[in-house]
Amino acid sequence: MKKLKFTKDEGSDFYKELRMKVDAYFEDKGISKSGNAAFKAKMYLYFALDVLFYVCMLRAETRGEFILFYLLMGLSVLLTAFNVSHDASHGIAVKSRFWNRILFQISFNLQGNNAYVWGKNHTESHHLYTNVEGSDIDVLNNPLFRMTESQERKWFHRFQWFYAPILYLLYSINWFFFRETLMLFKRSSRTISVTIPAIEIVKLVVYKLLYIGYMVILPALALDFSWSFVLLTFLLNHFLVSLIFVGVLGVSHVSDFVSHPQADENGKLGMSWPKLQMVTSIDYNPDSLFCNWTLGGFNAHALHHLLPDVCHIHYRQILPIFREVSKKHGLKYMEMSYWEALKSHFRQLVIMGKSQHYQVRTYEG
């Protein structure tokens, strides 16, 4: 991973004042930045739904019931990841550092993915160097997609806006079976390499086998359904999870409103870290109680990137502060409806497929 240097600009003073006012908000209210009672209630609810739907799935008597409860379980597990795993990875789900680590490990590893790999690279790569190719692990270098100007444009990229939704269905399957496995051999569509400690390699293999065990083998053995039917349901679940996952996260950083800054030959970016977060993230419906409750604050991505030490349950309350301070310092806070964010996402795919270069769309607010 290329480590970069930042430049002091208006974003520096913006961030200083933002931190000061947000800290003052929590001090004046006498509350913690970590999850409150509402968060804990939501956490218990999602974990309970995970177990409930799994038990209902194992007790299904018809194929329709099996598919229904299997997909509901998959959706519930994804929402648990959005609302619990993510905040726990940042150490803010609960006050206890120990329990944050346990919550993160349990809720992430039991999905068949490695918590260490995701957590380390999410915080040390994506959060630090958002949208900077070669430094942000989430900037893909997949030959089927062209996401940045530096990537070679192929003839078929002009159709990427059309076939993208089909490939999006494979996101979680690719993550589970190939993404982390390829990282072990230093081969990945990610633009940076990842070193995985030996103990995490063991855990990676063990949890993937365990996941296959309770998601495929146990249902196939416990119920009077064919292996092929269970496998098809397993794939259908991953298709659903993938579509929702990419639909929630993809529109935040792949948009014709956001930038993909490049460092100079000395590894220096021409902006501060706070400004980088503001020009590379789109927020949609940040005031929505429904989005906050279901998406765990992922719809308020710029806010989260700048304040990763604040639990998402507080985002709606501190949003006015965020808007006020960003406006004061002349930094545009790009917020819109989800529909506008989705349209912007596909416009970006069209532009990068047809043109060698593109001009970042000006956000008018």
pLDDT in tens, 295-351: 999 999 999 999 999 999 999 999 999 999 999 999 999 999 999 999 999 999 999
Lowest mean pLDDT: which of 4-13, 107-116, 245-254, 329-338?
107-116
Q: Is the pLDDT of residue 193 over 70?
A: no
Query: Would the CA dihedral through 333, 337, 342, 344 be positive or negative?
Result: negative
pLDDT at 189: 53
pLDDT at 192: 58
**CA 242 to CA 206: how far, in whole Å?**
23
Q: Is the pLDDT of residue 184 over 90?
A: no
Question: Distance of CA 151 to CAs 136, 141, 201, 251, 349, Å?
Answer: 15, 7, 31, 20, 13
Nearest to 151 by CA among 347, 3, 353, 4: 353
Residue-wise pLDDT for 36-51, tens only, equals 999 999 999 999 999 9
- Report the amino acid identity of residue 268: K
| pLDDT: which is higher, 142 or 10 | 10
* 3-state secondary structure at position 207: helix
Residue-wise pLDDT for 77-133, tens only, equals 999 999 999 999 999 999 999 999 998 888 887 788 888 877 777 877 888 899 888
**CA 151 to CA 147: how far, in whole Å?**
7
Confidence of residue 177 (pLDDT cuts 50, 70, 90): confident
Average pLDDT, the chain: 91
CA atoms within 13 A on the CB side of 260: 22
Q: Is the pLDDT of residue 160 over 90?
A: yes
**CA 315 to CA 303: how far, in whole Å?**
8
| φ, ψ for residue 336, nearest 5 deg | -160, 180
Q: What is the 3-state secondary structure (H, E, C) of 287-346?
A: CCHHHHHHHCCCCCHHHHHHCCCCCHHHHHHHHHHHHHHHHHCCCCCCEECHHHHHHHHH
pLDDT at 188: 59
pLDDT at 119: 78
Under DSSP, the state recorded for 258 is S
Residue with tokens 């959706």: 75
Nearest to 56 by CA among 70, 74, 38: 70
**CA 119 to CA 121: how far, in whole Å?**
6
| pLDDT: which is higher, 115 or 276 | 276
Strand runs labelled E in 158-258:
none
| pLDDT: which is higher, 126 or 283 | 283
- Report the amino acid identity of residue 5: K
Q: Is the pLDDT of residue 154 over 60?
A: yes
- Report the amino acid identity of residue 313: I
- If one counts every other C-beta atom within 10 angstroms of the C-beta of residue 261, the result is 19
pLDDT at 1: 60
- If one counts every other C-beta atom within 10 angstroms of the C-beta of residue 96, the result is 12
Q: What is the mean pLDDT of residues 70-83?
A: 94
Chain-centre distance for alpha carbon 277: 15
**CA 243 to CA 168: how far, in whole Å?**
6
Question: Distance of CA 172 to CAs 86, 149, 180, 240, Å?
Answer: 16, 26, 11, 9
Residues linked to residue 284 through DSSP beta bridges, in sequence order: 336
Q: Which residues contact residue 218 at a Cβ distance below 8 angstroms, ignoring those fewer than 6 apart? A: 58
pLDDT at 190: 55
Q: Is the pLDDT of residue 53 over 70?
A: yes
Domain locations in the chain? 10-138+163-354
